[in-house]
Amino acid sequence: MMYGDTLIIFSVKEQIFAVTIESSSITATYRTLFNMAWRSGKKI
């Protein structure tokens, strides 16, 4: 989950936890990766 300069990464495997990262450069990188994946997706 991303909002503003905050990225939250959730894990729900063996141990449930979340990591919050507040960084404009890291969120910009994750947004770029998400947008690349979104554009390469195919309609089903």
Is the predicted pLDDT of residue 30 greater than 90, yes or no?
yes
pLDDT over 70, % of the chain: 100
Phi, psi values for residue 19, rounded to 5°: -120, 130
pLDDT of residue 44: 83
Q: Is the pTM of this model over 0.85?
A: no
Tell me which residue range forms the domain holding 8.
2-40
User: How many domains in the chain?
Assistant: 1
24: pLDDT confidence band, cut at 50, 70 and 90? very high
